Structure 1
Amino acid sequence: MELITSPPPADDVNAPRPESPFSKGQLIGIGSLPHRDEKAAAAFSIGEFDIATVPTLPKRSPAEGMVAQAIVGLPGVSLGQYGSLAVDPTRLADDVPIETDLSGDAYVGLRAFLDLATAIKLDGRPIKWQFVGPVTLGVALQRAGLRTTAAFSIAAAAVRQHVQHISEMITDVLPTSPQLVMLDEPWLVELMSPDFPIPPGEAVDLISTAMAAVESTSTVGLHCCGPCDVATMLATGPCVISVAVTDQLLDYAGYLARFLRDGGIIAWGVVPTDGPAITSASRQTRILEALWTELVERGVDADALREQSLVSPVCGLVGHQVSVARRLVRVSGEVGRVACRTRS
Structure 2
Amino acid sequence: MDWIKPGRATGLGSLPYQDELTAIKLIAKAMPHWPHWPQLPAKMPEQGFVVQYVQPLIKMGLLAVQSLKEPVFCRGETDWDAKTADFYEKYLAFSNDEPGAGQPFALTGEAFAGMETFMEHFSRFFPQAEGVKGHVSGPLTVGLQIKDEWGKACFYDEALRDILVHCLTVEAVLEAKRLKTLGLPVLIFIDDPGLFLIGASTHITLTRQDASTALAAIIKALQGLGVKVGVHACAGIDWSILFDLPLDLISFDAYHYFTGMALQADGLAGFLRRGGKMAWGLIPTSEEAWQETADTIFAKFQEQCDELTRRGIDSALLRKNMLWTPSCGTGALPVALAEHIYDLVEKVVENGVP
User: Normalising by structure 2, what TM-score?
Assistant: 0.84
Q: Give me the whole-angstrom Cα distance separating, in 2, the residues matched to 1:101 and 1:107.
A: 10
| Aligned: 1:251 with 2:263 | yes
Q: Give the partner amino acid of 1:132.
A: S
Identity fraction in percent? 23
Question: What residue ranges of structure 2 are gaps of 5+ in the alignment?
Answer: 92-103
**Superposed counterparts of 1:36-185, under 5 Å:** 36-50=18-32, 51-74=34-57, 75=60, 76-82=62-68, 84-89=70-75, 90=77, 91=80, 93=84, 96=88, 97=90, 99-119=104-124, 122=127, 125-142=130-147, 145=152, 146=154, 148-172=157-181, 174=182, 176-185=183-192
Deviation at 1:53, TM superposition (A): 0.8
Report which stretch shifted further, 118-127 or 28-37. 118-127
SS at match of 2:134: strand
**SS at structure 2 position matched to 1:106:** helix
| Over 4 Å off, 4+ runs | 118-124, 143-147, 336-339
**TM-fit CA distance, 1:336:** 5.3
**In structure 2, what is the Cα distance between the partners aligned to 1:328 and 1:65?**
21
SS of the residue 2:113 aligns to: helix
8 Å CA contact 2:28, 2:126 repeated in 1:
no
Map 1:1-344 onto structure 2 (within 5 A): 19-20=2-3, 22-50=4-32, 51-74=34-57, 75=60, 76-82=62-68, 84-89=70-75, 90=77, 91=80, 93=84, 96=88, 97=90, 99-119=104-124, 122=127, 125-142=130-147, 145=152, 146=154, 148-172=157-181, 174=182, 176-194=183-201, 195-215=203-223, 216-245=225-254, 246-278=258-290, 279-335=292-348, 338=351, 340=353, 342=354
Q: Relative to 1, partners in 2 of residues 1:42 and 1:333: Cα closer, same or farther, differing over 3 Å? A: closer
Alpha-carbon offset, residue 129 of structure 1 = 1.1
- The Cα shift of 1:265 comes to 0.4
Contact 1:23 1:265 in 2 (8 A): no
The 3 A distance-change label for structure 1 pair 78 and 197 is farther
User: Which amino acid is 2:37 matched to?
Assistant: V
Amino acid at match of 1:88: C
The match for 1:3 is none
> In the alignment, residue 184 of structure 2 is paired with which amino acid?
S
Size of the alignment, in residue pairs? 321
Task: Give, as a single letter, the amino acid of the residue that structure 2 aligns with 1:64.
Answer: Q
- Please state whether the residue corresponding to 1:300 is helix, strand or coil: coil
Mapped partners of 1:83, 1:118: distance in 2:
38
Secondary structure in structure 1 of the residue aligned to 2:332: coil
**Equivalent AA in structure 2 for residue 289 of structure 1:** Q
Answer yes or no: is the 8 Å Cα contact 1:32–1:316 preserved in 2.
yes
The equivalent of 1:13 in structure 2 is: none
Once residues 296 and 263 of structure 1 are traced to their aligned partners in structure 2, the CA distance between those partners, rounded to angstroms, is 18
Q: Which amino acid aligns with 1:158?
A: C
| Equivalent-residue separation in structure 1 for 2:126 and 2:334 (angstroms) | 29
- TM score, norm. by length of structure 1: 0.86
SS at match of 1:238: coil
Normalized per residue, the structure richer in helix is: 2
Q: Is the 8 A contact 2:140 2:211 kept in 1?
A: yes
Q: C-alpha deviations, 1:211-243, integer Å up to 9, x for none?
A: 111113211000001111111122122100001
Shift of 1:83: 5.4
Q: 1:187 to 1:335 in 2, by over 3 A?
A: same
Q: Is the 8 A contact 1:62 1:83 kept in 2?
A: no
Q: 1:217 & 1:226 partners in 2: Cα distance? A: 29
Give the aligned CA root-mean-square deviation in angstroms. 2.2
Code of the aligned partner of 2:175: I
Distance 2:50 2:115 in 1: 15
Matched residue SS, 1:72? helix
Q: CA, structure 1 residues 277+120, in 2 after alignment: closer, same or farther (shift >3 Å)? A: closer
Residues 237-291 of structure 1 deviation map (CA, whole Å, 9 limit, x = unaligned): 2100001112221111111111111111011110221234334223222222111
**1: CA distance between counterparts of 2:43 and 2:200?**
34
Going from structure 1 to structure 2, the CA distance change for 1:83 and 1:252 (only over 3 Å counts) comes to: same
Give the SS at the match of 2:287.
coil
Alpha-carbon distance change, 335 to 178 in structure 1, aligned in 2, over 3 angstroms: same
Distance 1:226 1:274, change over 3 A: same
Task: Summarize the Cα distance change of 1:138–1:25 in structure 2 as closer, same or farther, 3 Å threshold.
Answer: same
Gaps of 5+ in 1: 1-17
| 1-structure distance, mates of 2:288, 2:252 | 20
Could you say if the C-alpha distance between residues 88 and 28 of structure 1 is closer, same or farther in structure 2, counting changes exceeding 3 Å? same
